[in-house]
Amino acid sequence: METYLWITSVWGIYLTAVVFFGGMAWRIYQWATTPKSPIRLGMFPKPKTGAGRFSKMLTDTFIAPQSFKIEPTMWLFAFAFHIAALGAFVGHARLFREFPILPELLGEAGMNSFAAWSGSIAGIIMLVGVLYWIGRRTYGPFKNLSVPEDYLLLFLLLGVIAMGDHMRFVYGDIVHAATYREWFMSVMTFKPAFPAKLLESNVGISLGTHMLFTDLFLMYFPFSKLVHSIGAFSSNLVRSE
Amino acid sequence: MDSTQLTTLTGVIDKKMNRQLKQYMDICARCAICKDACHQYVGTGDFKYLPARRAELIRQIYKKYFTKTGEFVPALYEARDPDDNLLDELYDSTYACTGCRRCMYYCPFSIDTAWILSVAKAILIAAGRGNEMLGQLADAALFKGDNVEMFKDVIVSGFKDIEVEVQEITGNPNAQVPVDKQGADILYVALAGAHSIRPAAVIFEEAGANWTISMFEAANYGFFDGDIEKARLITKRFIDEAKRLGVKEIVVPECGHAYRVLELFYEAWSKEKMPFKVSHILEKVDEYIKDGSITVEKGLLTGTVTYHDPCQIGRNGGIFEQPRDIVQSLTDNFVDLTPNREQQWCCGGGGGIVAMEEFTETRLDRGTQHTPRSGYRCTSGHRPRGRSDAAQGQEAHARIDEPRDREPQRGTLRGAPFASSPDSDAQAAAYRTRLGSTARGRASNHKRISQ
Ligand code: HEM
Ligand code: SF4
Ligand code: SF4
């Protein structure tokens, strides 16, 4: 198990970081160095001021009111998923350090229980979201439109989420954030080591698999349609140019 | 496939590549939110008309030849060569698209499918698969541009015939349809056909405008065909004319693409600033009503009157309120359709599709018109369909405050009847008569669509 953890949760992380950040930088570089269309592709009505355009872009990107109007169900799942993903992402910040604001407000035990239920909700929403998308892609025009890339991403994401949820729901009472932080900070400071607690229990397998999927997901991310996470801003800005 | 052909076709993408296109290629989530935005997909349920699918064909080539991942693992993206199979489907999905950009409105990333399809058109043309009809019409327009002396007498005598009618309508024996008038303020570029000239001429004359009419027509088949160089040259014909005559303003007729080409594309194509203002005829009429240059009589229209926003001047051109103001100066019974303005459905007849016989079925199967539920009919020649999603589209489209039970009449709200509709001649005649009477200011019922 130790080898598995070393591969997925130490070396895998280093490799992923290089591929992910390098890939994203490459993607942004490519976009930035390709000349803009000389024709303005905006549509009307458009805000008159730059600030207006910018705030419309943010609304369109984060709320997508038009998409809501045409397909509310899909919007709901997509919105819930992305918020939950954001929540989960922020939650992972606890791997770096305990941010003092919440624990001060809630107390140590309060913080742990807050993290437990908020993380659990996020984990469940993401799981439901991904299952919904997989389901949606199995019929009708959605099926015809889908390509293997779509399934690959959803499959990897399902792995990430399922194993994350597994760690939370099965081992949540045994292993707490502090333990994971010890491991994660050791990786971050290039002195990788695994706390005994991770190696003793079977949580190591879960963590290793969670990280395996995460590594693969993030390594593929910059080369997939998921670059919409950064491209959406500029393409939505073009809408009001 | 043949390697020279391949190089040619990928070369087209390379040449057309820009940041927007690249992002559109890279970020589409294939979420299919756009599917219900497209009147053709809603009307036919045919997969090839799903907006993201239309773009996906270009994406398949892009992935294979412009990305490393697609080159190494094409299967992941279903990336492939622009072979005959692909080009066959691409032809249908591309030339059927009316360029309404309703899909872009609803897309969470504002992906402009019509823009992607402008690249598709360039590819098809390079493959010798451009639309023949549109190509011929574009060439004819260019030929006319190069040989205008040859056509001049015929054109001018046509204008003279209309002039007589304008004199009758206005009751002014000195009313003119001036051609080649040096020092005119306005150059009006009409469509080919009296229906597009007479009403405007009457209005300009009544308003006392210092105007002149172009020898050329505003419709741009080069743009429809997707040959941007031809589109530019077709536009340049009357740009040069406007410069030569020293006008201050070009007014384009109902044709929405003409407006967009002139107002939004031409400067980028020609890389020069236009020394005149561009207006749509509806903007001009609104201006004349508001500044008192022409007067209109309210109350001659009976029944409820509405307005259907044309995509190219509405969502894609930014003219929303002026036409409504015009209608409201004619009636107190104006009611907006649901949806309206930037969300309005495409009428189904744009993008040159009416000139292409082969897409008649597609055009008619759109299933999103107002009729019969509302008793209003926004465009001619469309018939309702029984498919469930078509009905759904209709539902969305047809809500209007005051449903009418009268049999809707074929008619058009905004302009010329479509050439390929079976009764278009009769309709055109009726339309002409109605417009004639409008201009006289007595029975302004050209906006009446259901009676
Ligand atoms: C500002 C940022 C983002 C915006 C506006 C955005 C928007 C969207 C939208 C509109 C969809 C379409 C829904 C669908 O495909 O079913 C989508 C799908 C998706 N997004 Fe995002 N997203 C953003 C960031 C992210 C990030 C950071 C991730 C990484 C986890 C992500 C992962 C996904 C996934 C996995 C899908 C589902 C694709 C599928 O259906 O197969 N998104 N996103
Ligand atoms: S709505 Fe936009 S992102 Fe979604 S499939 Fe259509 S074009 Fe792609
Ligand atoms: S531009 Fe209009 S016709 Fe073309 S794909 Fe989009 S919605 Fe359909």
Last residue of a domain, one of B238, B269, B290: B290
Instruction: In whole angstroms, give the CA distance from residue B48 to residue B29.
Output: 18
- Band (pLDDT 50/70/90 cuts) for residue B367 is low
Q: Is the pLDDT of residue B395 over 90?
A: no
In tens, the pLDDT along A143-190 reads 999 999 999 999 999 999 999 999 988 888 888 888 999 999 999 999
Tell me which residue in A27, A70, A239 faces B36 most closely, judged by beta carbons: A70
Q: Does the beta-carbon distance from A37 to B115 stay under 8 Å? A: yes
Residue B430 located in a structural domain: yes
Residue B201: domain span: 134-290
Which pLDDT score is estimated for B414?
33
B245 plus B372 within the same structural domain = no
Q: Is the pLDDT of residue A220 over 90?
A: yes
Instruction: In whole angstroms, give the CA distance from residue A133 to residue A130.
Output: 5
Pairing type for strands B277-280 and B186-188 reads unpaired
User: How close is the Cα of B47 to the center of ligand 2, in Å?
Assistant: 14
Section A88-105 average pLDDT: 80
Residue bearing the bigger pLDDT, B286 or A177: B286
Instruction: In whole angstroms, give the CA distance from residue B425 to residue B401.
Output: 32
A31 residue type, one letter: W
Q: Which of A115-129, B205-219, B358-372 has the highest mean pLDDT?
A: B205-219
B139 plus B97 within the same structural domain = no
Residue B304 located in a structural domain: no
Which pLDDT score is estimated for B241?
95
Residue bearing the bigger pLDDT, B98 or B1: B98
Beta bridge partners of B187: B212, B250
Q: In angstroms, what is the C-alpha Rg of chain A? A: 20
B283 plus B370 within the same structural domain = no
Residue B413 located in a structural domain: no
User: How close is the Cα of A174 to the center of ligand 3, in Å?
Assistant: 55
User: How close is the Cα of B322 to the center of ligand 3, in Å?
Assistant: 25
Q: Is the CB of A78 under 6 A from ligand 1?
A: yes
Suggest the residue from B18, B22, B27, B232 to mutate for an interface test with chain A (most A CBs closer than 10 A): B27
Cβ atoms within 10 Å of B433's Cβ, excluding its own: 12
Q: SS3 of A169, please?
A: helix
Which chain A residues contact residue B268 at CB under 8 A? Answer: 38-40
Instruction: In whole angstroms, give the CA distance from residue A27 to residue B69.
Output: 13
The token duo for B246 is 């020293």
Q: How many domains does chain B have?
A: 3
Nearest CA in chain B to A77: B31
Look at ligand 1, atom 22, and give the residue with the nearest C-alpha. Answer: A229
B43 plus B187 within the same structural domain = no
Instruction: In whole angstroms, give the CA distance from residue A102 to residue A82.
Output: 23
DSSP run (H or E) holding A173: none
B46 plus B178 within the same structural domain = no
In tens, the pLDDT along B14-40 reads 999 999 999 999 999 999 999 999 999
- Band (pLDDT 50/70/90 cuts) for residue B142 is very high
Indicate which atom in ligand 2 lies nearest the CA of residue B110: 2
Section B395-407 average pLDDT: 34
Q: Is the CB of B37 under 6 A from ligand 2?
A: no
B154 plus B267 within the same structural domain = yes
Q: Is the pLDDT of residue B368 over 60?
A: no
Tell me which residue in B24, B37, B269 faces A235 most closely, judged by beta carbons: B24
DSSP state of A39: S
Pairing type for strands B277-280 and B211-213 reads unpaired
User: How close is the Cα of A232 to the center of ligand 1, in Å?
Assistant: 10
Q: Work out the burial of residue B6: count CB atoms within 10 Å of its CB; fewer than 13 is exposed, 13-18 middle, 19 or more buried.
A: middle
Last residue of a domain, one of B274, B290, B306: B290
Which chain A residues contact residue B27 at CB under 8 A? Answer: 225, 227-228, 231-232, 235
Measured in residues, chain A has a length of 241
| Residue of B317, B22, B257 whose CA lies nearest to A43 | B317
Q: Give chain B as a 3 state SS string.
A: CCHHHHHHHHHHHHHHCCHHHHHHHHHCCCCCHHHHHCHHHHHHCCHHHCHHHHHHHHHHHHHHHHCHHHHHCHHHHCCCCCCHHHHHHHHHHHHHCCCCCHHHHHCCCCCCHHHHHHHHHHHHHHCCCCCHHHHHHHHHHHHHHHCHHHHHHHHHHHHHHHHHHHHHHHCCCCCCCCECCCCCCEEECCCCCHHHHHHHHHHHHHCCCCEEECCCCCCCHHHHHCCHHHHHHHHHHHHHHHHHHCCCEEEECCCHHHHHHHHHHHHHHHCCCCCCEEEEHHHHHHHHHHCCCCCCCCCCCCCCECCCCCCCCCCCCCCCHHHHHHHHHHCCCECCCCCCHHHCCCCCCCCCHHHCHHHHHHHHCCCCCCCCCCCCCCCCCCCCCCCHHHHHHHHHHHCCCCCCCCCCCCCCCCCCCCCCCCCHHHHHHHHHHHHHHHHHCCCCCCCCCCC
Residue B414 located in a structural domain: no
Which chain A residues contact residue B67 at CB under 8 A? Answer: 223
Which pLDDT score is estimated for A197?
87
Annotated domain spans of chain A: 2-41+71-235
Q: Is the pLDDT of residue A238 over 50?
A: yes
Instruction: In whole angstroms, give the CA distance from residue B38 to residue B93.
Output: 12
User: How close is the Cα of B342 to the center of ligand 3, in Å?
Assistant: 14
Which pLDDT score is estimated for A119?
87
- Band (pLDDT 50/70/90 cuts) for residue B366 is low
- Report CA B357 to chain centroid distance, whole Å: 17
User: Do B414 and B272 touch, CB atoms closer than 8 A?
Assistant: no
- Band (pLDDT 50/70/90 cuts) for residue A108 is confident
Cβ atoms within 10 Å of A200's Cβ, excluding its own: 11
Which chain A residues contact residue B110 at CB under 8 A? Answer: 43, 60, 235-236, 238-239
Which chain B residues contact residue A239 at CB under 8 A? Answer: 104, 110
Q: Work out the burial of residue A87: count CB atoms within 10 Å of its CB; fewer than 13 is exposed, 13-18 middle, 19 or more buried.
A: middle
Q: Is the CB of B99 under 6 A from ligand 3?
A: yes
Look at ligand 2, atom 2, and give the residue with the nearest C-alpha. Answer: B107
Q: Is the CB of B116 under 6 A from ligand 3?
A: no
User: Do B352 and B136 touch, CB atoms closer than 8 A?
Assistant: no
Which pLDDT score is estimated for A202?
84
B199 plus B255 within the same structural domain = yes
What would the CATH number be for the domain defined by A2-41+71-235? 1.20.950.20
Section B422-448 average pLDDT: 36
| Residue of B74, B66, B55, B53 whose CA lies nearest to B10 | B66
Nearest CA in chain B to A59: B108
C-alpha distances in Å from residue B408, one per residue of A89, B218, B433, B448: 57, 31, 19, 11
CATH number of the domain encompassing residue B98: 1.10.1060
Section B295-311 average pLDDT: 90
Sheet strand arrangement including B211-213: B211-213, B186-188, B249-252, B277-280
Q: Does the beta-carbon distance from A36 to B20 stay under 8 Å? A: yes
B15 plus B123 within the same structural domain = yes
Judged by average pLDDT, the poorest of A1-15, A110-124, B313-327 is A110-124
- Report CA A200 to chain centroid distance, whole Å: 29
Which pLDDT score is estimated for A149?
97
Instruction: In whole angstroms, give the CA distance from residue B115 to residue A105.
Output: 52
Nearest bound ligand to CA A229?
1
Q: Does the beta-carbon distance from B17 to A231 stay under 8 Å? A: no
Q: Does the beta-carbon distance from B264 to A152 stay under 8 Å? A: no
Which pLDDT score is estimated for B314?
95
Look at ligand 1, atom 41, and give the residue with the nearest C-alpha. Answer: A150
Handedness of CA B186, B191, B194, B196 (dihedral sign): negative
In tens, the pLDDT along B56-91 reads 999 999 999 999 999 999 999 999 999 999 999 999
The token duo for B108 is 């969470």
Beta bridge partners of B334: B305
B120 plus B15 within the same structural domain = yes
Q: How far is A77 from chain B (nearest CA, A)?
A: 12
Candidate from A229, A230, A234 with most ligand 1 atoms within 8 A of CB, to mutate: A229
Q: SS3 of A97, please?
A: coil
B124 plus B12 within the same structural domain = yes
Instruction: In whole angstroms, give the CA distance from residue A104 to residue A115.
Output: 14
C-alpha distances in Å from residue B303, one per residue of A200, B323, B375, B376: 82, 18, 11, 11
Judged by average pLDDT, the poorest of A70-74, A170-174, B30-34, B424-428 is B424-428
- The number of C-beta contacts closer than 8 angstroms across A and B is 142
Q: Does the beta-carbon distance from A223 to B69 stay under 8 Å? A: yes
Q: Is the CB of B34 under 6 A from ligand 2?
A: yes
Nearest CA in chain B to A154: B29
Which pLDDT score is estimated for B417?
30
